[in-house]
């Protein structure tokens, strides 16, 4: 079972997903040593929960995509160790949530399923109990999203033999607007799409990330929701999401291919994307399916620089 977490749930009084979040939090706290942070009281008075939040990893249960609990965590400068969005979990299981604000049989079934999945995974993967990265295998489902990236074996996470880091140097051009500096790499093996994602190609692989334009606009990045290793991604398909307190950004993959690695450092330190989205803050690596075909719809440094300059001027980001 999930243990030793501080649980910050959606309070759930106006949506079915919220009611489920609340009940799930209560069940998790009843079954193990987990402590609930009441979001309503926490908003008006931090004192009661400061110690708890400082001592335990934070498990956020959002009801719906509004992500009130995640936003509250951001307001309080809390780092989210684990998160679940109930509406997503229901959708993944093809369960439609109703308007009910009561836990009926239907809602109870989903809660049982979520709890059961947590228990089952925990029995198999004790390293997941405290949320600390272990060396267990990955499998599909809720637990993967709760306990995912760090649970992969070193073999799964290895960087391809021709270590991309070793051969990567970046030569930047910058655009400045007020205090904001937007770096854009000029290297010829880097391609961009018009959704502000970059890809650096090396043989039949590419490392992918977001540009400075994205990280500057999102401001402090708080959460990284990675793709799964092994996922087949279409060109312009979703390659994970990153979130700040301001917004959610979906990574639009410049290339099609299979995900072969993700940047596991981002799980615990998503702020690396803010520090440098091209180097330590890269997102994923993919094995390319159709690099030449995909390049037809991508742009190089000159064009991306021109587009970004115009966007910065238009948006007047200051």
Partner 1 sequence: MSETTFMGVERSLIDWKPVIDYRKCDYCMECVRFCPHKVFEVREDEEIKLIIKNPHNCVVFCRACSKLCGPDALSFPDKNITTQRIKEIRKEMEGHG
Per CB under 8 A, residues contacting partner 1 are 15, 64-67, 87, 91, 194-195, 234-237, 241, 247-250, 252, 296-297, 307, 311, 314-315
In the bound state with partner 1, the residue whose beta carbon lies nearer, of 91 and 158, is 91
Among candidates 260, 268, 149, 155, which has minimal Cα distance to 208?
A: 260
Token digits of residue 309: 């300059």
Minimum Å distance from CB 300 to partner 1?
A: 13
Which segments within the chain are labelled E, that is strand? 6-9, 35-36, 58-62, 80-85, 172-177, 180-185, 190-192, 197-202, 205-210, 221-225, 232-233, 238-244, 248-252, 257-262, 284-288
> Can you spell out the DSSP letters for 219-284?
-SEEEEEPPPTT-EE-TT-EEEEEEESS-EEEEE-SS-EEEEEE-THHHH-TTHHHH-TTTTT--E
| Gap between the Cα atoms of 241 and 144, Å rounded | 16
CA-wise closest residue to 227 among 287, 299, 278, 167: 287
Provide the token pair at 191.
């391609």
Q: How far is the CB of 246 from partner 1 (least distance, A)?
A: 8
Min CB(318)–partner 1 separation in Å: 14
Instruction: Tell me how far, at minimum, the Cβ of 251 lies from partner 1, in Å.
Output: 10
CB of residue 16 to partner 1, shortest distance in Å: 10
Residue 102 CA, chain-centre distance (Å), reads: 31
Task: Find the helix or strand (DSSP H, E) in which 153 lies.
Answer: none
Q: Residue 310 Cβ, how far from partner 1 at the closest point, in Å? A: 8
């Amino acid at each position: 079972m999930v243990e030793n977490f501080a649980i910050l749930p959606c309070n759930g009084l106006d949506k079915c997903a919220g009611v489920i979040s609340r009940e799930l939090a209560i069940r998790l706290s009843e079954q193990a040593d987990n402590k609930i942070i009441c979001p309503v009281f926490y908003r008006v008075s931090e004192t009661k929960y400061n110690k708890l939040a400082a001592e335990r990893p934070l498990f956020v249960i959002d009801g719906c995509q509004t992500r009130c609990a995640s936003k509250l965590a951001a307001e309080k400068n809390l780092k989210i160790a684990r998160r679940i969005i109930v509406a997503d979990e229901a959708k993944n299981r093809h369960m439609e949530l109703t308007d009910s604000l009561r836990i009926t049989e239907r809602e109870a079934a989903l809660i049982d399923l979520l709890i059961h999945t947590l228990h089952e995974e925990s029995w198999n993967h004790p390293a997941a109990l405290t949320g600390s990265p272990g060396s267990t295998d990955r499998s599909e489902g809720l637990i993967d999203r709760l306990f995912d990236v760090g649970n992969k074996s070193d073999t799964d996470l290895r960087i391809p033999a021709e270590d991309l880091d070793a051969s990567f140097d970046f030569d930047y051009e910058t655009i400045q607007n007020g205090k904001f500096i937007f770096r854009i790499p000029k290297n010829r093996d880097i391609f961009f799409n018009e959704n502000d994602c970059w890809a650096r190609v090396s043989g039949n692989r590419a490392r992918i990330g977001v540009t400075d334009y994205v990280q500057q606009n999102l401001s402090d990045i708080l959460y990284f929701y990675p793709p799964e290793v092994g996922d087949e991604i279409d060109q312009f398909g979703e390659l994970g999401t990153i979130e700040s307190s301001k917004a959610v950004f979906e990574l639009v993959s410049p290339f099609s291919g299979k995900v072969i690695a993700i940047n596991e450092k981002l799980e615990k330190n998503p702020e690396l994307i803010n520090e440098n989205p091209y180097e330590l803050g890269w997102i994923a690596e993919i094995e390319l399916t159709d690099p030449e075909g995909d390049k037809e719809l991508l742009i190089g440094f000159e064009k991306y620089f021109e587009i970004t300059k115009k966007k910065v001027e238009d948006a007047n980001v200051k």
